[in-house]
Amino acid sequence: MVNFSHPGISVIIPTYNQADLLREAIQSIIDQTFTDWETIVVNNYSEDSTIDVVESFKDSRISLINFSNHGIIGISRNEGVRHAKADIIAFLDSDDTWTNLKLERMISVFRQKPGVELVCHDEWLLLENTIKSVMEYGPYKSYHNLLFRKNCLSTSAVAMLRHKFIEIGGFSEELRFAGAEDYDLWLRLARAGCTIEYLHEVLGTFRVHDQSFTAKIQQFCENYLNVLNYHFENWPGKTFFIRSAAAALGVSEPVTSPSFTMAQTYSGKITVHHLDLYRLQNFSAEDAL
């Protein structure tokens, strides 16, 4: 049973050297119609004006933690959750934003459907300050479909029960999953029977920009495959499946592969989502058995 006492929801923002974008992210929380929240900014010892930005809001609901994550964002998110007070937690990357109804709509789902443990909404895709499309998440909820079909959730679009997050062990802190640790978490949650609900409303903006680690696309691809390999370790056909995935993602031929070349037209942050367009869409679950 969810306790809706104060605060109603804890928001965790991991950040590193994105002061200007962080300001927009925090402002989008300040502007929420649902006001009973706390925001925990986990700063990976940024070298810009991040601390000044956070302190400029002068809002007691916002706290700052300076914490070294050794380059693994999942570590920062886990640290934020350890300080969270609410029974419901949400994540917002420091370069993303929410519409002002986001928290109100998410909380309403948890109130109206007591059995739900995780909610995900749709997002705008903002590329070079221009809205390009709507990123529609879902419909997959089961471990089997999330594994064989695609990653259909977004970290900045998710709210979940804190006890479920803790029970499953939080985000992986392994370097081999960096950049794909969200997909690993959704898979582990689904495998543990987490009840997922999709809210088909655009309640946030997923931003792609020059600071999104374009140079690390190849590493993201490899780590995405590491997640697949980890979760397929008990499947008899895993070798064929992973080899097919590598070909589909262009990991073995990063320069000439059409899929990888297309992925390079986007910045690194969208890569994991973009890879879903190429990952084994021509292979059914039966192919992997």
Q: Tell me, what's the pLDDT at 144?
A: 77
Asked if 246 contacts 156 with a C-beta cutoff of 8 angstroms, the reply is: no
More confident residue, 144 or 160: 160
d(CA 179, CA 200): 25
Asked if 116 contacts 110 with a C-beta cutoff of 8 angstroms, the reply is: yes
Domain residue extents for the chain: 9-208, 214-288
Q: Tell me, what's the pLDDT at 139?
A: 87
Tens digit of each residue's pLDDT (9 = 90 or more) over 89-120:
999 999 999 999 999 999 999 999 999 999 99
How much is the average pLDDT of 233-258?
A: 54
Asked if 217 contacts 268 with a C-beta cutoff of 8 angstroms, the reply is: yes
- The confidence band for 267, taking pLDDT boundaries of 50, 70 and 90, is very low
Q: Tell me, what's the pLDDT at 214?
A: 52
d(CA 80, CA 64): 10
- The confidence band for 123, taking pLDDT boundaries of 50, 70 and 90, is very high
Residue 182 Cα distances to 9, 33, 223, 224, angstroms: 20, 27, 11, 10
Asked if the model's pLDDT at residue 285 lies above 50, the reply is no
Q: Is the pTM of the predicted complex or chain greater than 0.85?
A: no
User: Running DSSP on this structure, what letter comes out for residue 176?
Assistant: G
Q: Which CATH class is domain 9-208?
A: alpha beta
Q: Where are the alpha helices (DSSP H) in 175-237?
A: 181-191, 217-231
How much is the average pLDDT of 210-229?
A: 72
Question: Is the preceding omega at residue 258 within 30 degrees of 0, hence cis?
Answer: no
CA dihedral angle for residue 219, residue 251, residue 173, residue 69, rounded to 10 degrees: 10
Asked if the model's pLDDT at residue 39 lies above 50, the reply is yes
Tokens of 183: 């997909």
What residue ranges in the chain does DSSP mark as E strands?
9-15, 37-43, 62-66, 88-91, 97-98, 118-127, 130-135, 158-161, 196-208
Q: Tell me, what's the pLDDT at 251?
A: 53
- The confidence band for 182, taking pLDDT boundaries of 50, 70 and 90, is very high
Q: Highest mean pLDDT range out of 2-6, 163-167, 180-184?
A: 163-167
Asked if the model's pLDDT at residue 263 lies above 50, the reply is no
Q: How many residues does the chain have?
A: 289
Q: What count of other Cβ atoms lies within 10 Å of the Cβ of residue 101?
A: 16
Tokens of 185: 């978490």
Tokens of 41: 């900014």
